Amino acid sequence: MLRSSRPAPGDRQEPEERTRVRGLRRAIHEAMARSTRTAAHFTYVEEVDCENLVAARARLKPIAASSGVRLTYLPFIAKATLLALRYFPKMNASMDDEAGELVIKKYYHLGVAAATPPGLVVPVIRFADQLTLLDLAAAIQDLGERARTNSLRPEELRGSTFTVSSLGKLGGVLATPIINHPEVAIMGVHKLEQRAVVHQGEIVARHRMNLSLSFDHRVIDGAQGSRFLQTLKGMLEEPTAILL
């Protein structure tokens, strides 16, 4: 009679590693849980044709480099977002749940979510609407570099009125970002890549990118959220509107 050589279930080792959740990671846990408990999340997605955006960046990239600034697509997206927010003031707001009041902000402090070794942080560009495209690029570059080296000041991590979340090349096809409480909306930026699409009756390769807007459905209805993202889409598809 053959006997199994496998150890009995009670004899097997079941290795585990436990790490106490503290510091920044703990703060992220609490903030995400609070957001999902309070806001009624709804996500709307648009696909953006980026052929003109790619060309505009290629033209302006050497000019930015001469000033020591690395020009990515994110400053264009940030600038277009700030312009669109002026047409949709409820998007640039926070919800005071205790008072039961919607607080519409008359200033624009843009949060730009950044992945760092300890976890996700949201550096804030204050009065971002007053900055040029090049200024925004410089601010995003500076905050991103200091976020990765954990050298941001506490005041640079609070007070945002609207947040943009981008993972760059890791952005994937689609995600549903969680609102940065107590804000009422957040926009996810996904991978910009060439895709096979039907354009003017022919199948061609064109640069495309998805944007996903999560908003608090208690404050913003679906029609308003979709119009905001469509306005932003139009600016990115014709970026001269951003520059003007």
Q: Strand, coil or helix: what is 103?
A: strand
In angstroms, the CA 208 to CA 230 distance is: 15
In angstroms, the CA 108 to CA 127 distance is: 5
Is 217 one of the annotated active-site residues of the chain? Answer: yes
> Can you spell out the DSSP letters for 114-159?
EEETTEEE--EETTGGGS-HHHHHHHHHHHHHHHHTT---GGGGS-
In angstroms, the CA 165 to CA 177 distance is: 8
Q: Which of 181, 190, 207, 217 is catalytic?
A: 217
In angstroms, the CA 211 to CA 199 distance is: 20
Residues that are catalytic: 217
